[in-house]
Amino acid sequence: MTGYIIRRILWMIPLLWAIATVTFFLMHAVPGGPFASEKPVPETVQRAINARYHLDQSIFEQYGLYFWDLAHLDLGLSFRGDQDVLTILKDGFVVSAQLGVMSFLVAAGLGMGLGILSALNRNRPMDYAGVFIATIGAALPSFVLATFLTIIFAVHLGWFDVLGWEFGNYRKMVLPIVSLSVLPMAYIARVTRASMLEALSQDYVRTARAKGLRDQVIVVRHTLRNALIPILTVLGPIFAVLITGSFIVEHLFAIPGIGRQFVTSVQARDYGVIMGTTLFYATVVITANLLVDIAYAVVDPRIRYR
Amino acid sequence: MSQWPILRRWPVLLAGALTTLLVLAACTSGDGGSSPPQSARDGGDIVVHAGEPQSLDPHFSAAEIDLTIEQMIYRGLYDLLPDGTLRPAYADGLPQISDDGLVYTIRVKSGMQWGNGEVLDARDFVFGIQRTCNPDVAGFFQYILTNIGGCDDYYFATEASADEKADLLNLVTVSAADNLTLELRLANPQPTFSTLLALWPTYPAPDETLASVDAAWPSGADTPCNGPFCVTELVSGDHLTLGRNPNWALGPAASLDTITLRFIDDFSVALRAYQSGELDLVRVGEQDLPLVRDRSDFHSQQLPSTIGLVYNLADDLLANDSLRLALSRAIDRILYAEVVFNDGVIPTTNWIPAAEPGANIPGIFDGVIGFDLAAAKAALEEAGYPDGDGFPGVTLLAVDNATTRTEAEFLQNAFRENLGIDIAIDLVDGRTFGGRLFEGDFQLALSGWVHDYPDAENWLNGLFNTGAPINFQGCSNAEIDAAIDAAQFEQDQAIRFALLQEAERLAVTTLCGYAPLYHEGNFYLINPDLLGVQPTLADHFLPQFPEMWGLAAD
Amino acid sequence: MASVAQMQSGEAAVEDRLVSNRGLWSDAFRRLRKNRPAMVALIVLSLIILLVVTSELFPFVQRHDPFFQDYARDANGELNSIHLGPTAEHPFGTDNLGRDTWSRVLQGTRISLQIGIGTQIVALAIGLLIGGAAAVGGRFTDSILMRFTDLTYAFPDLLFIILLRAVVAGRDWPVIGTGDPQIPYLEGPLLQVTLAIAFTSWVTIARLVRGQMLSLAQRDYIVAARALGASEARVVFRHMLPNTLGPVIVAVTFGIPTAIFAEAVLGFIGLGVPIPTASLGRLVADGYSFVELNAWVVAFPAATIALLMLCFTFLGDGLRDALDPRTR
């Protein structure tokens, strides 16, 4: 197991390198440069600006330069205000992670609770109600939901703020968390319900039931543990997605998170920030997947990694 | 969906620009311009809608939002007022111009300081102009100073050694005769040059703070300032806070303590934040006009901009004069402004907005390229496609956002209904659009121009002369070239304007790349308690002169 | 030889007892029919699809040309056909260009279903192949495929989408562009969006399939089947794959509306289907600008998305229950 984990961690290096390389060439292949759609400027001026940012060098020279700096843990500068990319990432991630973790807790807690309730009350009104709630909540695109929530609860009722995020200030926390967690909550509820039903139908659960064990005990001791595998498969990526920031929610609440930085940087061709956010995002996702795989082994001792 | 301040529809909108004169009649509704004098109290904090600046280096930046913030924290030699006149700011009186029109001598006010206490004198202005001409600073607007001797040679010496650059720097003909006297020598007499002394490329640079002419401009709370406000905090992605400049001496101290600029990409979000009381001043998108235009806190101003249908003349199809005419005459610009923009823009067939010095009379081209169904059909027939028969199809390139999509759909419909031809629409993101436009990889596009300085010259020179740097539509017309060239160094204002008017007439009537469609406007909601905000007729993201703003006494 | 034959028949017997594969699909259909929510969902979905298909064929269903911009004016010279709420003439109202929302929603539903189903077909094919191969292909294959999965998953899809658009937009290439031939019901521009969304969504399915199959591989009946000498292919295709279908179907039914959502979000950041064709996502994203001016123009497409979401969820649930013989 330890060997497996070490090998997986070592794997991350070539994987990140591959992602960074593909991203590097891809982003330079996309038409338009960081200063292309600014005010039309004479070509001579464009050349001077390119020289300032080393954009006049060949793509391979730029590639070499970037990876040389990267090897020295220097992520470079943003075209926006020459800010340090590492600082942009750090500041953005702190905000996105706060919002993401809160939303994850809400989504996982409510989603699994709803899923278990539905499964235990299969084909009864409780089940349909659970499915219905989960589905309706997720049936509106998040930007529509966030917009309606804002209009009702912030503009008209004045309970919450329209703008920003501040940890500990409920006026700025509730709407973004609700908007962000509804869709994953519904998904988690669905998967939980499905895999609980699957686990409940296993022979040993029937046996345990036949032996007269109380329902709760069966659920906790036997079923949930087995039902966890498919749930973990979705929880890992959902966690990774949530803490790396949602463009939509950060855009609609003007939250300075990393999701917004990424989209803005792609749109602005801010190469340094694109590379930085991509590497960061990739690291988080790969780590989350690794953690899921390890968690598999923990909840299901029959899975062996060599 | 809304507009993205950073990725606005047309590349030109990112342009900076400045104060300009404009049609007063179209300029205000509500009571913004004529509110009864009310006393503003001293102090107070406001939060306003803005975008994140790309750079606050006045000698480098070009984005609309950058220039908006720069006019709050910097001042140059002169302020350009809405009526087009120059008001001395750090200059002590108007420039003394030599008889041959080549040497400008400007006195700088004495005893002036930067926000950090550093002395602000003529040397700082020399340093500022040198920075704009510096090849490593690589300023976007160097080209408007191209007439200063040696500026071009220095700017283009990107490959030169440090010693060569130092030599070239000494050849830039800007100098301080003494601490308070700035002297500029031009290569050619330029009638519009004084105006440039009010623009950001000629703002001063603190020669003690900056170690060398190409040193990086300090950012965040260290950003230099000599305007009424100074940057006190910058949080990337979130906000920028401005505080009063303690050393501001060009007028009474500003009454507001702080102005916080919240970075909000989405106009609809900003509008909701205004409604919930979180913002004191927001920009409003055209799609929201019906909701807000009758409110008393609504304000609008006209912009020195023109958006048109761009023809790529290098395209075989669009090289056909009659086809271009047919397309232009098939667009009902009044309906366009009403349906797409809720009358938030002014329909036009003029390229140069009427308020610009040297512009033609509005509407004089209506009979040539304006909406006329019969004439459009006749032109199409003359182009060889009677009733659209045999038309091979053409593609319109546009930026993918809600407003432009609506525009494209309107145009597509107009061409189908009025001419019987189908056009395809190619929607791309802002940077791709800019890239393709300048590579000439398009047939039709939606784009336009915002002026750098208020003069007809700025609307023609560089855009319509053969092979000019920004002539990506491929316009090439000997008569236009001759008129622009003749106007460039013409000292007699009346003759110069006549030449420019002729150049515009030729450019518009031959549809040499643009079929003008409309002039844009800016729209604001302003908290009634926030006094002194005058729509300043500029194409900044926010109104100018924040030192005049104040909160009403309770 | 005889012993082998015996073992094979023995295996068959064990198999039949373990998984009643023989009547799987007919049993499943019987069970599905008993599931009331699933049947309601199926009927509603069928009606929607019928409506969408007939709207293309019969003008009386569609009532208006979805592209027609109505600039009629009233006696005062005001435009009176834009931003309408529901009327007898326009049951869903009209948009900012005076187009009939009912016909736009019908067209949008068709486009969205094509994108949603197309995405899932692509994602399912890749996901099953890669996830399955990783699970049964041994350590090395597993490592390579899962790292490839990680690579795709960790890759910035937005960049990929922008590049895809920049490269293929406006080209007359066959299949993926606007040239001939085209895939029926998934024309070039739609295919571009479909591929863009499928680019990352197959990963979820692949990981799900692999996780499920790794877990199944340890189950007693699989071990028993292997012990009885069933070939690897037989074990995989008869025992493991069908038993993976439950969670995969849940993922796919969720995937269809999720893809419809994803397309809406792409539209929101300016990368949706080409105009004037409207998907439901594009209708919602466009209508969003006018939500305070005319909420109907958002409400109807959003409600349609919600309805599709509900239907696919209930149907997916029903299918899952019906396909999994062990849940009764």
- Answer yes or no: are the C-beta atoms of B365 and B325 closer than 8 Å: no
pLDDT of B2 reads 32
Tell me the chain C residues in contact with residue B335 when contact means C-beta distances shorter than 8 Å.
71
Q: Using only the alpha carbons of chain A, give its radius of gyration.
A: 24
Neighbours of B320 (CB within 10 A): 18
What does the pLDDT average to over A196-212?
Answer: 71
Cα separation, C28 vs C319, whole angstroms: 8
- The answer to whether residue B185 neighbours chain A at the CB level (below 8 Å) is no
Cα separation, A173 vs A99, whole angstroms: 8
Residue A11 CB burial class (10 angstroms; 0-12, 13-18, ≥19): middle
B316 to chain C, closest Cα gap in Å: 18
Residue C328 CB burial class (10 angstroms; 0-12, 13-18, ≥19): exposed
- Answer yes or no: are the C-beta atoms of C252 and C124 closer than 8 Å: yes
Return the closest-CA partner of residue B477 out of B440, B450, B434, B514: B514
Question: In this model, does residue B22 exceed pLDDT 70?
Answer: no
Mean pLDDT of chain A: 81
User: Would you say residue C258 lies in a domain?
Assistant: yes
Collapsed DSSP state (helix, strand, coil) of residue B539:
coil
- What type of residue sits at position B220? G
Return the closest-CA partner of residue B71 out of B161, B222, B198: B198
Q: What percent of chain A has pLDDT over 70?
A: 87
Tell me the chain C residues in contact with residue A3 when contact means C-beta distances shorter than 8 Å.
none
Q: With an 8 Å Cβ cutoff, are C250 and A190 in contact?
A: yes
pLDDT of B4 reads 31
Q: What percent of chain B has pLDDT over 90?
A: 46
- Answer yes or no: are the C-beta atoms of A276 and A79 closer than 8 Å: no
Return the closest-CA partner of residue C63 out of C82, C95, C89: C89
- The answer to whether residue A175 neighbours chain B at the CB level (below 8 Å) is no
Residue A6 CB burial class (10 angstroms; 0-12, 13-18, ≥19): exposed
Cα separation, B78 vs C61, whole angstroms: 67
More confident residue, C219 or B190: B190
pLDDT of A38 reads 47
> DSSP states of C155-218 as a string?
S-HHHHHHHHHHHHTT---TTTSSSSS-BTTB-HHHHHHHHHHHHHHHHHHHHHHHHHHHHHHT
Question: In this model, does residue B67 exceed pLDDT 60?
Answer: yes
Query: How is residue A235 written in tokens?
Result: 């929880």
Q: With an 8 Å Cβ cutoff, are B412 and C276 in contact?
A: yes
Cα separation, B375 vs B370, whole angstroms: 9
Q: With an 8 Å Cβ cutoff, are C288 and B285 in contact?
A: no
Chain centre distance of CA B10: 11
- The answer to whether residue B427 neighbours chain C at the CB level (below 8 Å) is yes
What does the pLDDT average to over B266-277?
Answer: 90
Tokens 């009350």 -> residue? A121
Pairing of strands B514-519, B258-263: unpaired
Tokens 């008993």 -> residue? C34
Question: In this model, does residue A219 exceed pLDDT 50?
Answer: yes
What distance, in Å, lies between the first and last C-alpha atoms of chain A? Answer: 6
What distance, in Å, lies between the first and last C-alpha atoms of chain B? Answer: 37
Of the pLDDT bands very low, low, confident and very high (cuts 50, 70, 90), residue A272 is confident
Of the candidates B63, B278, B431, the beta carbon closest to that of A32 is on B431
Question: In this model, does residue A226 exceed pLDDT 80?
Answer: no
A30-45 burial code (b ≥16 CB/10 A, e <16): bbbbbbbbbbbbbebb
Cα separation, B517 vs B240, whole angstroms: 36
Closest residue in C to A244 (Cα–Cα): C154
Pairing of strands B239-244, B346-347: unpaired
Please tell me the least confidently modeled range out of A183-197, B145-159, C310-324.
C310-324
Residue C3 CB burial class (10 angstroms; 0-12, 13-18, ≥19): exposed
Please tell me the least confidently modeled range out of A65-74, A126-135, B125-134, B439-448.
A126-135
C135-146 burial code (b ≥16 CB/10 A, e <16): bbeeeeebeebb
Question: In this model, does residue B232 exceed pLDDT 90?
Answer: yes
Tell me the chain A residues in contact with residue B15 when contact means C-beta distances shorter than 8 Å.
38-39
Peptide bond preceding C181 in cis form (omega within 30 of 0) = yes
Q: With an 8 Å Cβ cutoff, are A18 and C320 in contact?
A: no
- The answer to whether residue C156 neighbours chain B at the CB level (below 8 Å) is no
- Answer yes or no: are the C-beta atoms of A223 and A199 closer than 8 Å: yes
- The answer to whether residue A198 neighbours chain C at the CB level (below 8 Å) is yes
Domain coverage including residue C313: 24-58+91-327
Q: With an 8 Å Cβ cutoff, are A52 and B138 in contact?
A: yes
Considering Cα of B342, then B345, then B348, then B351, what sign does the dihedral take? negative
Greatest Cα pair distance in chain A: 85
Q: With an 8 Å Cβ cutoff, are C159 and A289 in contact?
A: no
Instruction: Give which of A16, A17, A143, A270 to mutate to test C binding, by max C Cβ within 10 Å.
Output: A143
Cα separation, B140 vs B379, whole angstroms: 41
Tell me the chain A residues in contact with residue C196 when contact means C-beta distances shorter than 8 Å.
none
- Answer yes or no: are the C-beta atoms of C78 and C69 closer than 8 Å: no
User: Would you say residue C18 lies in a domain?
Assistant: no
pLDDT of B216 reads 86
Return the closest-CA partner of residue B147 out of B211, B103, B109: B103
Cα separation, B397 vs B426, whole angstroms: 5
Q: With an 8 Å Cβ cutoff, are C159 and A202 in contact?
A: no
Residue A188: C-alpha distances to residues A197, A198, A229 (Å): 14, 15, 12
pLDDT of C169 reads 64
B37-47 burial code (b ≥16 CB/10 A, e <16): eeebeeebebb
Domain A85-299 fold is: MetI-like fold (1.10.3720)
Cα separation, A134 vs A142, whole angstroms: 14
Q: With an 8 Å Cβ cutoff, are B402 and C67 in contact?
A: no
Residue B531 host element (H or E): strand B530-531
Question: In this model, does residue B327 exceed pLDDT 90?
Answer: yes
pLDDT of A166 reads 85
pLDDT of A237 reads 77
Chain centre distance of CA C302: 17
Tell me the chain A residues in contact with residue B155 when contact means C-beta distances shorter than 8 Å.
44, 48
Alpha helices in C35-80 (DSSP H): 36-57, 59-62
Chain centre distance of CA A72: 27
Phi, psi dihedral angles at B154 (to 5 degrees): -65, -50
Collapsed DSSP state (helix, strand, coil) of residue B400:
coil
pLDDT of B120 reads 92
Q: With an 8 Å Cβ cutoff, are B273 and A39 in contact?
A: no
What distance, in Å, lies between the first and last C-alpha atoms of chain C? Answer: 40
Q: With an 8 Å Cβ cutoff, are C97 and B413 in contact?
A: yes
The domain total for chain C is: 1
Collapsed DSSP state (helix, strand, coil) of residue C289:
coil
- The answer to whether residue A135 neighbours chain C at the CB level (below 8 Å) is yes
More confident residue, B322 or C265: B322
**Which are the contacts of B97, defined by CB distance < 8 A and separation ≥ 6?**
B103, B104, B105, B194
- The answer to whether residue B286 neighbours chain C at the CB level (below 8 Å) is no
More confident residue, B17 or A302: A302
Cα separation, B420 vs B432, whole angstroms: 30
Q: Which of A4-13, A90-99, C26-35 has the highest mean pLDDT?
A: A90-99
Segments of chain C scoring below 50 in pLDDT: 1-22, 327-328
Q: With an 8 Å Cβ cutoff, are A36 and B431 in contact?
A: yes
pLDDT of A107 reads 92
Cα separation, A155 vs C139, whole angstroms: 57
Tell me the chain B residues in contact with residue C270 when contact means C-beta distances shorter than 8 Å.
399-401, 427, 429
Question: In this model, does residue B229 exceed pLDDT 70?
Answer: yes
- Answer yes or no: are the C-beta atoms of C275 and C193 closer than 8 Å: no
Of the pLDDT bands very low, low, confident and very high (cuts 50, 70, 90), residue A205 is low
For chain B, list the contacting chains (3+ Cβ pairs, <8 Å).
Answer: A, C
Residue B87 host element (H or E): strand B86-88
- The answer to whether residue A161 neighbours chain B at the CB level (below 8 Å) is yes
Of the candidates C169, C272, C293, the beta carbon closest to that of B426 is on C169
pLDDT of C218 reads 74
Phi, psi dihedral angles at B491 (to 5 degrees): -85, -25
Return the closest-CA partner of residue B304 out of B246, B386, B359, B376: B359
Tokens 């208020």 -> residue? B454
Q: The domain that contains C174 carries what CATH number?
A: 1.10.3720.10
Q: With an 8 Å Cβ cutoff, are C156 and A277 in contact?
A: yes
Note the pLDDT tens digit of each residue in B395-432.
999 887 778 888 999 999 999 999 999 898 888 877 78
Count of helix runs (H) and strand runs (E) in chain A: 13, 0
Return the closest-CA partner of residue B527 out of B20, B30, B25: B30
Instruction: Give which of C81, C165, C289 to mutate to test B binding, by max B Cβ within 10 Å.
Output: C289
Neighbours of B171 (CB within 10 A): 11
- What type of residue sits at position C146? M
Cα separation, A67 vs A24, whole angstroms: 10
- The answer to whether residue A291 neighbours chain C at the CB level (below 8 Å) is no
Note the pLDDT tens digit of each residue in B430-478.
778 887 888 888 999 999 888 888 889 889 988 898 887 788 898 999 9
Q: With an 8 Å Cβ cutoff, are A191 and C150 in contact?
A: no
Edge to edge, the sheet with strand B514-519 lists B346-347, B514-519, B305-311, B444-450, B394-399, B423-428
More confident residue, C165 or A114: A114
What does the pLDDT average to over B347-369?
Answer: 91
Q: With an 8 Å Cβ cutoff, are C247 and A191 in contact?
A: yes
Residue C305: C-alpha distances to residues B62, B516, C63 (Å): 42, 40, 21
Question: In this model, does residue B17 exceed pLDDT 60?
Answer: no
Note the pLDDT tens digit of each residue in C142-192.
888 887 887 887 777 777 777 777 676 666 666 666 666 677 667 767 788
Residue A5 CB burial class (10 angstroms; 0-12, 13-18, ≥19): middle
Domain edges within chain A: 85-299
- Answer yes or no: are the C-beta atoms of B103 and B184 closer than 8 Å: yes
Closest residue in B to A143 (Cα–Cα): B1
Cα separation, A22 vs A10, whole angstroms: 20
- Answer yes or no: are the C-beta atoms of A150 and A144 closer than 8 Å: no
User: Would you say residue C75 lies in a domain?
Assistant: no
Note the pLDDT tens digit of each residue in B133-143.
998 888 888 88
pLDDT of B184 reads 93
Q: With an 8 Å Cβ cutoff, are B290 and C97 in contact?
A: no
Question: In this model, does residue B271 exceed pLDDT 60?
Answer: yes
User: Would you say residue C303 lies in a domain?
Assistant: yes
pLDDT of A42 reads 64
Q: Find residues 463-492 of chain B whose CB sits inside 8 Å of chain A.
A: 469-470, 472
Cα separation, C96 vs A287, whole angstroms: 47
Of the pLDDT bands very low, low, confident and very high (cuts 50, 70, 90), residue B126 is very high
Structure pTM? 0.83
Q: With an 8 Å Cβ cutoff, are A82 and B52 in contact?
A: no
